[in-house]
Amino acid sequence: MTAPETTLGHASLDFADPNEIDTFVETLGRFERGEIGPDQWRAFRLVAGTYGQRQEGDWAMIRAKIPQGILRADQLEAIATATDRFSRGFAHVTTRQNFQFHFMHLDQVGPAMQALAEAGLTTREACGNAVRNVTTSPTAGVALDEVFDPTPYARAFTRYFLRHPLSATLPRKFKVAFSGGGADHSFAHVNDLGLFARVQEDASGKSVHGFRVVVAGGTALMCKTGLELVDFLPAPEIFAVAEAVLRVFHARGDRVHRHKNRLKFLVKEMGWDAFKAAVHVELAQVRAAGTPPLPFDPDAPPIEEAPTSRAPLPTTAELDALIGADAPRGPGIVPRFLPVLGDPGADRFFRTNVRPQRQAGFVVVTITLPLGDISSGRMRAIALLARSFSDGTVRTTVGQNLLLRWVPQASVRALYAQLAHIGLAEPDPESLADVSSCPGAESCKLAVTQSRGVAELVSAKFQVNRALVDRAAGLVVKVSGCPNGCGLHHVAGIGLQGGLRKIGDRAVPQYFVYAGGDPSGDAARFGRVVAKVPARRVPQVFERLIALYEEKRTPGESITAYLVRAPVAELKARLADLEKLDASTATDEDFVDIGETAAFKPETSEGECAA
């Protein structure tokens, strides 16, 4: 057995191909000259990582792919440069650990891609009918209870399938997540392919690394937890099995009815036994043709070690220079970053944002981002702090925050002081005070409601009521502006899904309230609809359900566990009066979506998620 590698390696986080940018610019020119039609152009730009927005004109969103959510400090600085020059002065962390840039003109996309590529970042296959960003937990490699670190396997998987002949020619998008085991679920049960770390002994007593493999999970129109394809797959087989699944999906997936053609629909149509049989046929062919070996000993994967050197601590003047140059701007909700002073202060931050690593003497620190947004100056400030306090890298999280690892326990108070100074020391990540959301009607063509508005409303309300946050400890809240699962609301403790109702000829924004979702355990649990509440009344939902939980809980039971087991009728009864709204009780405010100023006029169009 070879000795395990150490460190991530500087070049290992480079995924860009500069030639793709030239191709993008050339193809955009062909479209503008009428040499290719809109359908051909759309298919091309989606695979290149560019969505159209709901606004008229050539407004676009681009998505930078962040494999495993890992960024070097210089890559974070490149994102800052791109958003300064070409977007709104801030960027958005997604629920798949990517970065998005909104409100860009098409002629800015090529230069933005170039700025990202110079730091090794790519937008390739971040959108479209492709193998999307391969995710892992941001604590992979340092979590106290994981079986082993899945990051090296996930990175190798990314490199194998990025630009693979199948990857950009699928019937629909294909999502992959790796879990290290333990409490790390990485939402793998609701991915098209989920891999959970396992170790077992072979006949000689040697420990063998491998994965439990599940397929065809997903949310949105048909919520399904992944079905077990393999109980234990030796690690060297991950390329072959994944390619076999992709071959079946590529050959048999429905390319006509795009809204019902995720892998889960194919499995339903074929039947589980027939699907497995088809995968095994393809697997035999893949094995016969051969796949490359993993670029490391599968049973002695690369391991992270503490950084051997750190940059000097930035001065207050250096931080002030960076954040003083911030210029986040609209359209849409613009993030605000205020210094954290007084209560809740440092003690609460240390309790909610700091967790021990399995490596003695080090901790991971979560940086809470408002609505998943971060301004360019603060990105540059975080890059400095990553070099001084961490290992020179930053992790993005599914909860739309950032994570620093390898922070010495003795340095936490100094790190907190600098985060507080730049307005990024908000406590309670992934709680009632930190609701995550899809972009919603701010930019998405499919969205019905302004999901970011209601997420901001709820977060702000409970940021000034920390006692209620404590009473609902562990409750995760997620919002989507439409029935699709981009906000992961189906697997949240409480999820909100945007919709509308009519009072006369006027539209009222409302939210379907889902309760009892939980992505952990041996299978994902999906929330049940317990109310349809006008948008302005959403904060009251949480007050009611927390009070009900305190009345009905068993000793030691968490609110998430209670919501999973609570009878739907019990939950509905507590919220029933919030649903009632008619012409005599509605106020003018009820007809305005949260985060907007004009009357609510839902305008959806053909989205590009299934284009």
User: For 496-548, how does the pLDDT look when each residue is reduced to its tens digit (9 = 90+)?
Assistant: 999 999 999 999 999 999 999 999 989 999 999 999 999 999 999 999 999 99
Q: Residues 228-247: pLDDT tens digits?
A: 999 999 999 999 999 999 99
Alpha carbons 434 and 338: distance in angstroms, whole number: 15
Q: Residues 90-133: pLDDT tens digits?
A: 999 999 999 999 999 999 999 999 999 999 999 999 999 999 99
Q: Residues 123-171: pLDDT tens digits?
A: 999 999 999 999 999 999 999 999 999 999 999 999 999 999 999 999 9
Return the pLDDT at 1: 34
Alpha carbons 542 and 539: distance in angstroms, whole number: 6
* Mean local confidence (pLDDT), 33-55: 95
Tokens 């400095």 correspond to 384
Q: Residues 457-481: pLDDT tens digits?
A: 999 999 999 999 999 999 999 999 9
Return the pLDDT at 605: 66
Return the pLDDT at 555: 97
Q: Residues 435-462: pLDDT tens digits?
A: 999 999 999 999 999 999 999 999 999 9
| 3-class SS of residue 469 | helix
Neighbours of 587 (CB within 10 A): 10
Give the model's confidence band at 6: pLDDT under 50 very low, under 70 low, under 90 confident, else very high. Answer: very low
Nearest of 434, 283, 432 to residue 370 by alpha carbon: 434
CATH 3.30.540.10 fits 143-289, yes or no: no
pLDDT over threshold 90, residue 10? no
- Residue ranges of alpha helices (H) inside 305-353 are 316-324, 345-353
Q: Where are the domains of the chain?
A: 11-117, 143-289, 316-421, 436-591
Nearest of 179, 187, 160 to residue 400 by alpha carbon: 187
pLDDT over threshold 70, residue 344? no
Residue 169: which region, alpha, beta or left (left: phi > 0; alpha: psi -120 to 50)? alpha
Asked if the domains 316-421 and 436-591 are classified in one and the same CATH topology, the answer is no
Q: Residues 262-271: pLDDT tens digits?
A: 999 999 999 9
**Are 112 and 24 within 8 A, CB to CB?**
no
CATH number of 316-421: 3.90.480.20
Return the pLDDT at 426: 94
Alpha carbons 276 and 607: distance in angstroms, whole number: 32
pLDDT over threshold 90, residue 46? yes
CATH (one of 3.40.50.300, 3.90.480.20, 3.30.420.10, 3.20.20.70) for 11-117: 3.90.480.20
Residue 466 tokens read as: 């920390």
Question: pLDDT averaged over the chain?
Answer: 95
Say which CATH architecture domain 436-591 belongs to. 2-Layer Sandwich (3.30)
**Are 439 and 450 within 8 A, CB to CB?**
no
Tokens 């949260």 correspond to 594
Return the pLDDT at 259: 77
Return the pLDDT at 610: 54
* Mean local confidence (pLDDT), 286-297: 96
Alpha carbons 239 and 247: distance in angstroms, whole number: 12
pLDDT over threshold 50, residue 2? no
Alpha carbons 165 and 170: distance in angstroms, whole number: 10
Return the pLDDT at 257: 85
% of the chain beyond a pLDDT of 70: 96
| 3-class SS of residue 476 | coil
